[in-house]
Structure 1
């Protein structure tokens, strides 16, 4: 029998570092609509729906559910997608799931962002009362007050409010049960993943003090407060949230960003800009692969110098007859400090082991590049 999974949406190259995005209670993965597309440029983004929310089945959890149960569903989703280790960001209840994963499954979480959330949600009484109300009367009356709980006065996102109305009352109440039982304050110092806390300065549900409490307890954690943001900051202030998340996850991942830096240093801005301008949805995965793997891992390895790597690359390109690529790497070799005489010596060495005809074409290509440089 096939295991039921959380409804989800994936965006970005499958070869990119995975980033899972968790929603808040009462919303769907549409909460991330203004942020996920930009994050997917450099990440394999997977955003998911809570049980009974969006497209997720309501019977994935039941009364008495815990945040640990929700975390288990997230891990099952990651496993089904072949994702072993991932970055994670979540809002409110989705953020609590991230904290739970970082404490109980540290081997799975590479970095963490907790947004408008808490290590506890003001005790159990309020959530027990809300769960009872929803089981008794449904979600219509509660959804009427969503704007006041989620946004500053005068701002709304109608689609998210409609998600609240459309959520399954039983599953919503079970999520309330999970919030009622959640308190991870004593375990926060155990979190080892690089952690970012994002607070909405005008958030009445999880005010900045709740995020500051986590930041003070988690070793090395950073805290960002967003002016004018309430509880659903990714929907209300997406640019500010995106800026903070990009800085955090790029620093934690390192490889893709550093790879692009090295690629530009070796090949030049003009070449990289042309490659990026030609990028399409079809080639995006390959471009990401090149930046992360070739430039972010191989060219950044300090075992060999860049001069030595240029010599090896020139020889390999001659051997396989890739003369257009060779011309590009002759320019790169010059940036890496090789003189024309040294480039000629490399090609002469290649003539012995790769053949005279190959070296003849290589000398012609290299001579064109060097002549252009002299000109």
Structure 2
């Protein structure tokens, strides 16, 4: 028996055109799944149908500025908290009542940030390859034109010089289509480096599943352990032979793990 298919749609959030894919019955408990830095929702294409078969309505957005979603006001998010507040607004725009939020890497950090700031509004959080505090290089500077002199100008002028009288809004859209991926990815990684909600972990009162791949060096033992100590309602899982992308590396194991956790926490 084949798995159900993800179907793509658009919704307007914060006056911005946002792309998402969904699968599962609309009457089933909703789960919002979030991708990693600079990526898009296709990373969940193996797990989402299996969660739908387990009885969940799975919704997978491309975060603003990623994939087929445009950035809000043509400015990329520069913090995990901005991503989190968007996810809350996105869920509201779709009418999702107390969804579970699942994510990996910056998506996992976003799920945890939602749990910290909006615990009563969600049913649970699945935090994969993230922690209360995450470490990384300060790469946001690479989104600035001075980091790679000329590359943005070349793309901008190619748009400006090759279009007619389309107006500034349409021209800005064309610019983003050419240059957006680098800006989104580097600012995601900067947000990862800046992320720290360790002092607020006690506010994440909803059930949290904290998942780590044993082969992932991006999440260290100390930050993982401190996150476990700070969360009031947490289950943990360490996946042998898995690195930073569990939903891509071991989708069957992740589907079983997440659906089992949600069955106990949400239903």
Q: Which has the higher contact order (CA 8 A, sep 6+)?
A: 2
Verify the 8 A CA contact 1:87 1:109 in the aligned structure 2.
yes
Residues 165-212 of structure 1 show CA distances to partners (whole Å, capped at 9, x for unaligned) of 996222223323422332101111221111111100000112454333
Pick from 215, 222, 228 the counterpart of residue 202 of structure 1.
215
Structure 2 CA distance for partners of 1:234 and 1:132, relative to 1, 3 Å: same
Residue of structure 2 equivalent to 1:193 = 206
What per-residue deviation string (whole Å, max 9, x for no partner) do you get for residues 17-37 of structure 1? Answer: 110001110221111111100
Question: How far off its partner does 1:12 sit?
Answer: 0.5
How many residues end up aligned between the 2 structures?
224
**Is residue 2:78 matched to residue 1:69?**
no
Give 1:85 shift. 1.1
Identify unmatched segments of 5+ residues in structure 2.
Answer: 1-11, 152-177
Query: Conserved in 1, the CA contact under 8 Å of 2:116 and 2:200?
Result: yes
Give the secondary-structure state (helix, strand or coil) at the position aligned to 2:120: coil
Give the aligned partner of residue 314 of structure 1: none
* Distance in structure 2 (CA, Å) of the matches to 1:64 and 1:228: 32
Residue in 2 that maps onto 1:17: 29
Cα deviation per residue 1:257-281 (whole Å; 9 max; x = unaligned)?
Answer: xxxxxxxxxxxxxxxxxxxxxxxxx
Give the structure with higher Rg (CA).
Answer: 1
Structure ranking higher in strand proportion: 2
Aligned to 2:6: none
1:63–1:177: 8 Å Cα contact kept in structure 2?
A: no
Matched with 1:82 is: 95
Which has the larger displacement, 88-97 or 215-224?
215-224
Greater helix percent: which structure? 1
| Alignment partner, residue 142 of structure 2 | 133
Aligned pair partner of 1:56 in 49, 69, 77 = 69
Q: Contact 1:195/1:220 (CA < 8 Å) preserved in 2?
A: yes
CA distance in 2, matches of 1:249, 1:24: 21
Q: TM-score, normalised by structure 2?
A: 0.77
User: Which ranges of structure 1 fall in alignment gaps of 5 or more residues?
Assistant: 139-164, 255-375
Aligned to 1:214: 227
CA RMSD of aligned residues (A): 2.3
8 Å contact 2:213–2:239 — kept in the other structure? yes
Distance 1:40 1:102, change over 3 A: same
Aligned to 1:46: 59
Q: Give, in angstroms, the shift of residue 61 of structure 1.
A: 6.4
